[in-house]
């Protein structure tokens, strides 16, 4: 039999899965350098990193996590709008890319090409994990309000 988990435990598990994916695929130097001159708020990644480092122990932590979900949705929108269409050019693996000071060795070029191929999948996975976190936060918020209603209702019945 599986151990009973609370709604905040499920939020924490969803947050951890999101943190791992974000750290492995988006919290990297290549992203910071690539979005540096795009119209994306440079502090967005920092704010997301702060929220992903939270440990959700109490229902009072849920508004911060909800804020993180909003920030992640903003990042997803901005990356799809501004980076995805020009990623190959920016990483210098497009036939239309202008020569740059990037390393010309074959290994580096293959790594950048693989990054371009994996980016849409990683972006979709980030969106799936963000949706999962959003659902878990909503469930936890409903559970929090239901518990408060039960306490209020129980207190109201004692006056009879």
- Quickly state the pLDDT bin for 36 (edges 50, 70, 90): confident
What are the tens digits of pLDDT across the range 100-138? Answer: 555 567 888 888 888 999 999 999 999 999 999 999 999
pLDDT value of position 89: 87
Mean pLDDT, rounded, of the chain: 84
pLDDT value of position 92: 83
How is residue 92 written in tokens? 């210098």
What are the tens digits of pLDDT across the range 131-150? Answer: 999 999 999 999 877 755 55
For residue 57, the number of C-alpha atoms closer than 13 Å in the C-beta half-sphere is: 3
Query: What is the domain partition of the chain in residue ranges?
Result: 7-92+105-141
Q: Name residues whose C-beta falls within 8 Å of residue 159's C-beta, 6 or more positions apart in sequence.
A: none
Q: Name residues whose C-beta falls within 8 Å of residue 119's C-beta, 6 or more positions apart in sequence.
A: 84, 87
Identify how many contiguous H helices and E strands the chain contains and give both numbers.
Answer: 6, 0
What gap in Å lies between CA 160 and CA 154, rounded to an integer? 11
Contact 89, 113 (CB under 8 A): no
Residue 53: pLDDT above 70?
A: yes
What gap in Å lies between CA 150 and CA 17, rounded to an integer? 32
pTM of the model: 0.81
């Amino acid at each position: 039999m599986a151990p009973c988990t609370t709604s905040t435990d499920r939020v924490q598990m969803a947050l951890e899965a999101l943190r791992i994916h974000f750290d492995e695929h988006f919290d990297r130097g290549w992203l910071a350098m690539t979005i540096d001159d795009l119209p994306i708020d440079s502090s967005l990644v920092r704010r997301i990193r702060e929220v992903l480092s939270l440990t959700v122990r109490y229902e009072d932590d849920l508004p911060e996590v909800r804020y993180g979900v909003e920030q992640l949705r903003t990042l997803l929108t901005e990356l799809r709008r501004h980076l995805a269409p020009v990623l190959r050019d920016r990483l210098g693996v497009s036939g239309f890319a202008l020569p740059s000071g990037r390393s010309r060795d074959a290994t580096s070029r293959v790594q950048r090409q693989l990054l371009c191929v994996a980016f849409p999948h990683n972006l979709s996975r980030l969106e799936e994990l963000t949706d999962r976190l959003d659902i878990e936060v909503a469930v936890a918020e409903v559970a929090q309000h239901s518990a408060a209603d039960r306490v209020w209702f129980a207190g109201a019945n004692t006056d009879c």
